A = this chain, B = another copy of it.
Amino acid sequence: MSLIVQKFGGTSVGDIGRIELVAKKVAACRAEGDDVVVVVSAMSGETNRLMALAHEIQERPLPRELDVLLSTGEQVTTALLSMALNQQGVKAKSYTGSQVRILTDNAHTKARIREIDSDRLIEDLKEGYVIVVAGFQGVDGNGNITTLGRGGSDTTAVALAAALKADECQIYTDVDGVYTTDPRVVDGARRLSKITFEEMLEMASMGSKVLQIRAVEFAGKYNVPLRVLHSFKDGPGTLISMEDNSAMETPTIAGIAFNRDEAKLTIEGAPDVPGVAYQILGPIGEANIEVDVIVQNISHENTVDFTFTVGRGDLARAEEVLNQIANEINAGKVTSDSKIAKVSVVGVGMRSHAGVASQMFAALGEVGINILMITTSEIKISVIVEEKFLELAVRALHSSFGLEKEPKDENVREEE
Contact = CB atoms under 8 A, between A and B. Distances in A.
Interface string A40-78: 000000000010011011100110111011011001101
A94 interface: yes
Contacts of A78: 68
A202 interface: no
A57 B78 CA distance: 13
A263 interface: no
Nearest to A69: B79
Contacts of A61: 83
B65 A69 contact: no
Nearest to A78: B68
Given A68-B75, A72-B76, A56 B16 contact: yes
A120 B80 CA distance: 32
Contact of A83 (B57, B76, B84): B57
Interface string A129-158: 000000000000001110000000000000
Given A16-B53, A93-B64, A58 B86 contact: yes
Interface in A226-279: none
Contacts of A94: 64-65, 68
A19 interface: yes
- Secondary structure type dominating chain A contacts: helix
Given A16-B53, A98-B98, A58 B76 contact: no
A99 B57 contact: no
A103 to B, nearest CB: 15
A20 B82 contact: no
B80 A54 contact: yes
Given A72-B75, A143-B99, A80 B64 contact: no
Interface centre among A65, A75, A82 (most CB of B within 10 A): A65
A87 interface: yes
A24 to B, nearest CB: 13
A65 B131 CA distance: 12
A68 B62 contact: no
A67 to B, nearest CB: 8
B72 A58 contact: no
A56 B79 CA distance: 13
A118 to B, nearest CB: 14
A58 B79 contact: no
A65 B83 contact: yes
Contacts of A19: 57
A292 to B, nearest CB: 38
A53 B20 CA distance: 12
Given A86-B58, A87-B58, A98-B98, A66 B53 contact: no
Given A19-B57, A57-B20, A80-B57, A86 B62 contact: yes
B57 A84 contact: yes
A14 to B, nearest CB: 12
A50 to B, nearest CB: 7
Given A20-B57, A57-B83, A57-B87, A50 B76 contact: yes
A66 B86 CA distance: 12
A-B complex: 3 closest residue pairs judged by Cβ atoms = A69-B79, A72-B72, A68-B79
